[in-house]
Structure formats: C-alpha cells, structure tokens
Chain A
Amino acid sequence: MYKLVKNEFYKMVGKKRLYITLTVLFVMIAAFAYGQYDSLNRTKAQLAQRLGVTVITDWKSVVGQQILDNKARVDSPYQDEDRRVQARVRMEQSQFNLDNNINTVDLTAANFTTKIISQSMSLFLPLLMILLAADLVSGEMGGGTIKFLLVQGIPRWKILLSKYIALLGLEAVVLFFAFVFSILISGLLFGYGGWWEPVATGFKIVGGKLDTSNVAFVAQWEYILMAFGLAYYVSVVVGTISLMISVLVRSSIASLGIILSLLVGGSQLTSYMVSWNLPRYLFTCNLNLMSYISGSLQSIPGMDMAFSVAVLAVWTIAAIIVSFVYFNKQDILV
C-alpha cells in the first residue's frame, strides 16, 4: 500500500499538477496581500484627511470611525431592513472589539493568514483541490494508462484507496504551503508578529442583535489552527466529491467541467437559502465554515456549524461509497 501511494505522489508531481496548484496559490496570496495592504493604507489616509491629521497611528480611531459610519447606516431612513440589521451587527461587533481592546484593524502575518483562509474557504480553496483531484481517475481512463494500472494483480479497491490517500496527503501539502506562503508574503508587508493577539470567537446573531454571551477569547495562533483544521475538512469534502466525479466520468475535461460547474453554480444558490430549504443540503452551500466561528452575519435560521459539518460528512461518505462500488465493478473498455 505504501508503494502504491508513493506511485500516486510521483504521478501528481510528474504531471506538474502540484507545481501548478502551488504557483496559483502563491500568485493569489501575493495579490491578496498587496490588496489588503493597499486598502488599509487608503482607509487610514482618508481618515487622516477627514480628521485633519497627518498620520493615523491609533487603530482605535479607525474603529471609532467605522462605528460612526455603521451608525449612520442604521439611522438612515433609506436603508432596507436587512442592511440595517447587518450594519447594526457590525457596529456592535466593532464596539465589542473596541471595548475588549481587540485590534482588528492593523494587519499582521498572523491575522492576515486567518483572513485569507477564511475568505477562500467557500470558493478559491475548493477550486485548488479540484485542480488536484478532478482527473485522478478520469485522467488514467482518458490516457489509457488505467489498463496497465489494473492488470498488475492489485485489487481495484486498493488502487483507488492509494489514489485517495495520496490526494488527502497532497491536500495537506497544499494547505501547508498556503500557510507558509501567506506568512512569508504578508510578513514582508505587515511584519511577522501577531501570534498572541487575542481573537474573539463565538458571536451569535439572535433576532438581528449581536449576542456576546458565548464569546470566548483565543490567541491568534490557536485561531489559525482552527481555521486550517476547517480548511482541511472542506478540502477533504471537495476532494472526495471530485474523486467520485472523476471515477464516474471517463474524460478528464468532462469531470473537471462537471465539478467546477457544481461548485460555482451550487454556491450561487446560497443566495436563495433564506426562503428555500433545499440548497442548504447541497455541499456547496455549506463550505463556508469559518463564518460560523468569526461571527459574520448568518441570516439562515437552522444552519449552524454542526449542521454544515454533518451535511458535508454525509456527502463525503456517500461519495466514497459511490466511488469504490462503481470503480470496483466497472468494465474497462478504453
């Protein structure tokens, strides 16, 4: 089994798939880091202009201004109710952070890393994992190499399992590099600190109001660990489903197309979830697990961390079963 998994690793490296994935990752992180850096500077410059000072050094004044901005939105008669709730929750959250001396304005390598992993969890990260997984089996079908692979006297389930294990390993490798790239790049711009800064988690929104009764404070590094744990879970889910599609479809282009459209199309259904129940059982609408922890606005009643994790688990297990059953009894006609 170890040798089989090693073979699969070699293939992934030989196909240059891993390099491509990592290159995409590097470029995106660099772009995101610069974007954050630039927008923070602009915000500060604008605020400085408004306050009539030359430089903003105190993050508290930035938060103070954000609170004022949100308050203006809440009070504005032209806002619809949804937006008003959103603005009020943000305002309360900012106030809470201000009261508890939690700096969410200034960027560090540590909080940038959490930020990027949270924001990429529902689309960018799954896309990377699809890049790795989508042609695992269909690629061998299309190239005809599956014949050689399956006539070596090794049971088919072992072949598929070795591919799956290699995939799970590579997803971890990609996440590890996401971490390394993020730290290295953002550290250049924001400094390498921030690991012990506190982060507030466990916000709840009850009846359009921020409920802070369950808020717990964790150190940034613990928060990063949590974020990467969830990111890995999401990666495994997406990877497994991609593997299933790649078993079911013979051409790698078709399998890549199918899984991409599922992901992108499915995530667009998210916007209907308030009134329509079905999308919440799709895996694509449950990928944004970080939003439950960071306490950004969740407007869908009945959906929480446990629900999403369970939905994803069901999808994953079903995909594993379908993949192995189908792969085991399929006639290879290529």
Chain B
Amino acid sequence: MDSPVLELKNISKRLKGKDILKNVNLSVSPSEIFGFLGPNGAGKTTTIRIIAGLIKPTTGSVTICGHSLEREFSNALSKVGCIIEGPDLYKYFTGMENLEQFAAMKNVDKKRIYEVLEMVGLQHRANDKVGTYSLGMRQRMGIAQALLSKPKLLILDEPTNGLDPAGIADFRQLVRKLAYEEGMSVFVSSHILAEIQMMCDTVSIVKQGEVIRTVKVEEILSDNVIEWQFADVGKATELLKSKWGFQVNQTKKNTIRASIGKITIEEINHMFMNEGLIISYCTAIGSSLEDLFLDLTEGDKIV
C-alpha cells in the first residue's frame, strides 16, 4: 500500500474546557476520496481546521505527504488546497483578482488560473466582483482557489452548500476526475449522506469528537438490503430467519427489511413463492449507509 497522503495521529483538541476532539486517527491514501460524515457539531470543521493549520491540536500530530505540519508547515501545506466553512473571498475584488492573490502566494502562473476557471465553469464571470456572485458561484470560486497549485490533497468542508442540483452533479464529476485521473486525494466533510455515498470511497463517521467507524463505502453498498411487502409478514419473517439466518426488521405493518448479503433476490423470492406466500411488493434499498449512520449516531446531541 502507498504511504498515506494525510495521516492524523491521536489528535485531541480542548477548547475552553471542552473536549472538541478526542483521539482522532485518520489516514487518507493517494487518489482516495475520503468522506468525513457526522452530525452538526461533531467536530468535522475543527478536524479540518487542524489539518489546514488554522488551529493547533492539544495533542497529536498531522502528517501531509510525509511532512509534519508542526515542523515543516510550509512544505506540508504547499501540497494542500482547501475550502473551509464557506467560500469567504474578497468581495471587493473580482473573481480573477481573488485568484491572482492566491496565485501570487503559491507561485502559480496566469495559465493555471484560466485552467481552474474553466474546470469550475466560471470563465465568463471571472471579471465580475465577487460581491455580485451567488453562494454557489462563490463555492465554485473557492474550489478554483483550492485547485490552483495542483495539490496532492484537496480538503473540502461542506463543499456543496449552496450549489444547485446541476452544480452538485458537476462537482461530483469534477471530484471523481481529480481523484481518479489526476491522482489527487480528496477529503470531503459533509452531513449529507447521499452525497458522501455517491462520491466517496471511504467514509469515517464522527460523533461528539470521536471517530466511531471507518468503512469502505463499497462494503456497505454490497450489504444488500431488500424490502418486501406481504399480507402475512409473520410467516415470511420466520422463513427468512430459519432458512438463511437473516436479521429481519419489520419497518411498517406489512413491510419487512433484511440484509441478504451475497444471496440473490431471485433465489429468495423463488423460495417465498414455493412456500405459497404472495409478494405484494419487493425492492432493493440501495444502501444502508443511512441506517449505519443513524444507528451509530443515534441519540446524539449537539454539544
């Protein structure tokens, strides 16, 4: 396995007597899209601020591309592009002038500015003042800014806030392209499950400052959940339990759900019919990330 692009070891942060983060460990591989999922106030943005060097952790270390953030600040951050909590650009500058500011700081030439503008589809509005931009456009401009220096690691904090559906789809495509074609690692935080599920390879779920689970999205998705409707759910439940040993949840009066793993849905439905059960309705529930998330963060209160 390649050495990780980003590694967090035992990161804790205490702020005003409150433990915001407790012993967070993370590792992001090259060209991986890593989702950071958690309810509001779980510590997502704090973690990202620590990675970006805006906050110093109370304990623990951050390593980016093998450079310690603490000891080699410039080297570590030169490989990173990020947007943190809202694209707050200079409103009195045009989009172009904003990018020129950051380009000067990162030693990037004019050609690259045009490239990133095209990537985010803002080449026609680049000479308007950012003050006149919509939130979605500022978000795009923020992404353009993050891409300027062709970073190895892209950090995006709630990046689709304010984007319209088309914008979100474009954005997802852009992130995939960056990761799989240009080999960028992407660290995305979000509280929107569908977004993480559609975009990410790996997801870490945080709750009250702790990473409670890190999973491959693929694995969850192969965790095939099926929903049936029967007139007689009792018998169907019995059969699923006795024949395959599935765990069955009754979600509504006539509805049950079960995770069927590698067994095919045809096989199961065939069995039901042989047993003389009439299936009123049957569907595959795409994922269980939502279930997993709600399970794991159940009863969570924003602290």
Judged by a CB distance under 8 angstroms, whether A42 is at the interface is no
Judged by a CB distance under 8 angstroms, whether B263 is at the interface is no
Beta-carbon contact of B145 and A148 below 8 Å:
yes
Beta-carbon contact of A6 and B104 below 8 Å:
yes
Judged by a CB distance under 8 angstroms, whether A77 is at the interface is no
Beta-carbon contact of B80 and A151 below 8 Å:
yes
Beta-carbon contact of B101 and A332 below 8 Å:
no
Name the distance in Å between A217's Cβ and chain B's nearest Cβ.
Answer: 50
CA distance A154 to B149 in the complex (A): 13
Chain A contact residues, CB within 8 Å of chain B: 3-4, 6-7, 10-11, 14-16, 143-145, 147-148, 150-155, 329, 331-333
CA distance A145 to B89 in the complex (A): 6
Between-chain CB contacts (< 8 Å), 24 pairs: A3-B105, A6-B104, A7-B104, A7-B105, A14-B93, A143-B88, A143-B90, A144-B85, A145-B88, A147-B84, A147-B88, A148-B88, A150-B53, A151-B52, A151-B54, A151-B77, A152-B102, A152-B105, A153-B73, A329-B56, A331-B54, A331-B55, A332-B49, A332-B54
Name the distance in Å between B95's Cβ and chain A's nearest Cβ.
Answer: 13
CA distance A281 to B13 in the complex (A): 41
CA distance A56 to B145 in the complex (A): 69
Judged by a CB distance under 8 angstroms, whether B91 is at the interface is yes
The contact size tier of chain B is 20 to 34
A residues within 8 A CB of B91?
Answer: 143
B residues within 8 A CB of A16?
Answer: 92
A residues within 8 A CB of B88?
Answer: 143-145, 147-148
CA distance A169 to B222 in the complex (A): 63
A residues within 8 A CB of B93?
Answer: 10-11, 14
Judged by a CB distance under 8 angstroms, whether B106 is at the interface is yes
Given the interface pairs A16-B92, A329-B56, the reply to whether A148 lies near B102 with Cβ below 8 Å is yes
Majority secondary structure, A binding face: helix
Judged by a CB distance under 8 angstroms, whether B82 is at the interface is yes
Chain B contact residues, CB within 8 Å of chain A: 15, 49, 52-56, 73-78, 80, 82, 84-86, 88-93, 97, 101-102, 104-106, 145
Beta-carbon contact of A153 and B77 below 8 Å:
yes
Beta-carbon contact of A10 and B89 below 8 Å:
no
B residues within 8 A CB of A155?
Answer: 73-74
Name the distance in Å between A5's Cβ and chain B's nearest Cβ.
Answer: 10
CA distance A16 to B84 in the complex (A): 27
A residues within 8 A CB of B52?
Answer: 147, 150-151
Beta-carbon contact of A14 and B97 below 8 Å:
yes
Partner among B55, B92, B145 whose Cβ is within 8 Å of the Cβ of A332: B55
B residues within 8 A CB of A144?
Answer: 85-86, 88
CA distance A155 to B73 in the complex (A): 7
CA distance A6 to B97 in the complex (A): 12
CA distance A333 to B84 in the complex (A): 10
Nearest 7 pairs between A and B by C-beta? Answer: A144-B88, A153-B77, A332-B54, A153-B78, A3-B104, A152-B105, A331-B55
B residues within 8 A CB of A151?
Answer: 52-54, 77, 80, 82, 84
Beta-carbon contact of B55 and A4 below 8 Å:
no
A residues within 8 A CB of B104?
Answer: 3-4, 6-7
Partner among A148, A152, A153, A333 whose Cβ is within 8 Å of the Cβ of B55: A333
A residues within 8 A CB of B145?
Answer: 148
B residues within 8 A CB of A152?
Answer: 77, 102, 105-106
B residues within 8 A CB of A10?
Answer: 93, 97, 101
Name the distance in Å between A112's Cβ and chain B's nearest Cβ.
Answer: 36
Beta-carbon contact of B80 and A153 below 8 Å:
yes
Name the distance in Å between A228's Cβ and chain B's nearest Cβ.
Answer: 31
B residues within 8 A CB of A147?
Answer: 52, 54, 84-85, 88
B residues within 8 A CB of A333?
Answer: 49, 55
CA distance A147 to B49 in the complex (A): 9
CA distance A147 to B102 in the complex (A): 12
Name the distance in Å between B199's Cβ and chain A's nearest Cβ.
Answer: 22
Beyond A11-B90, A151-B54, A154-B74, list 8 extra A-B contacts (CB 8 Å): A6-B104, A7-B101, A148-B88, A151-B52, A152-B106, A153-B78, A333-B49, A333-B55
Smallest CB gap from A151: residue in B: B52
CA distance A329 to B70 in the complex (A): 12
A residues within 8 A CB of B90?
Answer: 11, 14, 143, 145
A residues within 8 A CB of B78?
Answer: 153
CA distance A197 to B92 in the complex (A): 47
Beta-carbon contact of A331 and B56 below 8 Å:
yes
Partner among A11, A14, A154 whose Cβ is within 8 Å of the Cβ of B105: A154
CA distance A332 to B51 in the complex (A): 12
Given the interface pairs A145-B88, A332-B49, the reply to whether A153 lies near B74 with Cβ below 8 Å is yes
CA distance A14 to B94 in the complex (A): 10
B residues within 8 A CB of A15?
Answer: 92
Name the distance in Å between B50's Cβ and chain A's nearest Cβ.
Answer: 10
CA distance A148 to B85 in the complex (A): 11
Smallest CB gap from B151: residue in A: A153
Given the interface pairs A3-B104, A6-B104, A14-B97, the reply to whether A150 lies near B89 with Cβ below 8 Å is no
Smallest CB gap from A147: residue in B: B84
CA distance A144 to B49 in the complex (A): 13
Smallest CB gap from A139: residue in B: B90
A residues within 8 A CB of B74?
Answer: 153-155
CA distance A155 to B93 in the complex (A): 24
B residues within 8 A CB of A11?
Answer: 90, 93, 101
B residues within 8 A CB of A150?
Answer: 52-54
CA distance A333 to B13 in the complex (A): 13
Name the distance in Å between B152's Cβ and chain A's nearest Cβ.
Answer: 12
* Max chain B Cβ within 10 angstroms of own Cβ: one of A4, A14, A15: A14
Smallest CB gap from B75: residue in A: A153
B residues within 8 A CB of A14?
Answer: 90, 92-93, 97
CA distance A333 to B56 in the complex (A): 11
A residues within 8 A CB of B54?
Answer: 147, 150-151, 331-332
